[in-house]
Amino acid sequence: MVSSALPSKRKSQPEKSQPENRGSAERPAQLLAWYDRHRRRLPWRAPAGQRSDPYRVWLSEIMLQQTTVKAVGPYFEKFLARWPEVSALGSADLDDVLRMWAGLGYYSRARNLHACAVIVMRAHAGVFPDTEEGLRALPGIGPYTAAAIAAIAFDRLTMPVDGNIERVVSRLFAVEEALPQAKPQIQALAATLLGPSRAGDSAQALMDLGATICTPKKPACALCPLNENCAARERGDQDTFPRKAAKKTGALRRGAAFVVVRGEEVLVQSRPAKGLLGGMTEVPGSEWLAGQEDAAALAQAPELADVKRWHRRLGVVTHVFTHFPLELVVYTAKVPARTRAPNGMRWVPIATLDGEALPNVMRKVVVHGLGE
Ligand code: SF4
């Protein structure tokens, strides 16, 4: 009896051979020391030792959702130049914000961005709440973004876990459970990398490590400050983490888009405010349906008496949304100067299309339709 009790008592003690325990005391300091030498210079980051501006942190975090640092950089600068503080953004017209956002994708983020700025301006006197809970109550701010702002702008002791951090942590501890089920486990393990202070720097250090050293393919383990206690490196299968459950993608949807040119202008309309690409500008088109035949899509062309025949462009425009891939056949027509826009549609100069809130899929359609 005694002999069976002893092993279980010992099991409750930390086991040095478990990857989560090995080097656990040193990791936070190793990470910060590495960050102090190798931190990336990013437009929204404060210089070393200074507290980040919550507005910049929030703006960058919203822009970075589903988008790369490289793509976000110019948009961040543009937004900051036009709306240097949250109250300026909160006073802006939503259409202007959508126009400035065009090309960044996932447009509900732009609407939430604006709604959030309005609330911070009106209900919080232009000052962001400094707790995760307060931040989460704002539009467009989920658990990750709230933790990121709380840690980076307010030095709250919390660890936001983004895709880069997920990868680093899942390798460091060889997390076998697949994402997304593994998220709570990864979150708990990531929190062990926080020191007693500088939470924002710890989070940014892990983000930078994931972006520059612990990359999805061929991580540069020799340069990694945590390489002595990395379980995946020890096993030599770093590239296989994080484990991922097989992705379910929606069925291919098909449709038609109609590029109608009147002199130097093109016919457009605004999408309904709610739903996919809500409020964005598009050329007229058919519904997007799985298995839709070309003839059925063509039958949904805008009613223009001056169009005797639609010309089908060779090839198709393809685009992948989060939940489904899309294939659009593009039809073109030229109409005389007297042609009026059907109800709900308008003519815009081709030269100013860049200033419209055109989502990427529509940019591709217009390029395809206007191409020689
Ligand atoms: S040792 Fe390699 S796999 Fe492990 S955390 Fe560092 S870079 Fe990633």
User: Using CA positions, which residue lies closest to atom 8 of ligand 1?
Assistant: 214
Question: What's the 173 CA to ligand 1 centre distance in angstroms?
Answer: 10
Residue 247 burial (10 A CB sphere; 0-12, 13-18, 19+): exposed
| 21-240 CATH, one of 1.10.340.30, 3.20.20.100, 2.60.40.10, 3.90.1170.50 | 1.10.340.30
pLDDT digit string, tens, across residues 268-295: 999 988 888 988 999 999 999 998 889 9
pLDDT digit string, tens, across residues 248-258: 778 899 999 99
Q: In this model, does residue 19 exceed pLDDT 70? A: no
pTM of the model as a whole: 0.70
- What percent of the chain is modeled with pLDDT above 90? 76
C-alpha to C-alpha distance for 370 and 372, rounded to whole angstroms: 7
pLDDT digit string, tens, across residues 353-370: 988 889 999 999 999 999
Encoded tokens for 311: 């010309």
104 band by pLDDT with thresholds 50, 70 and 90: confident
Cα-flanking dihedrals φ and ψ of residue 216, to 5°? -55, -45
Residue ranges with strand state E in the chain: 253-262, 265-270, 281-282, 289-290, 311-312, 317-320, 325-334, 345-349
Say which of 61, 265, 282, 356 is annotated catalytic.
61
User: Using CA positions, which residue lies closest to atom 1 of ligand 1?
Assistant: 227
Domain residue limits, the chain: 21-240, 253-370
Kindly state if the Cβ of 31 falls inside 6 Å of ligand 1. no
The CB density around residue 323, as the number of other CB atoms within 10 Å, is: 11
Kindly state if the Cβ of 262 falls inside 6 Å of ligand 1. no
Q: What per-residue confidence (pLDDT) applies to 283? A: 97
23 band by pLDDT with thresholds 50, 70 and 90: low
C-alpha to C-alpha distance for 22 and 47, rounded to whole angstroms: 33
**CATH assignment, 253-370:** 3.90.79.10
Cα dihedral 125→131→137→143 (10° resolution): 140
Question: What's the 322 CA to ligand 1 centre distance in angstroms?
Answer: 29
Q: Which of 224, 228, 234, 237 to mutate to test the pocket of ligand 1 (most atoms within 8 A of CB)?
A: 224
The pLDDT mean for the chain works out to 90
Kindly state if the Cβ of 221 falls inside 6 Å of ligand 1. yes
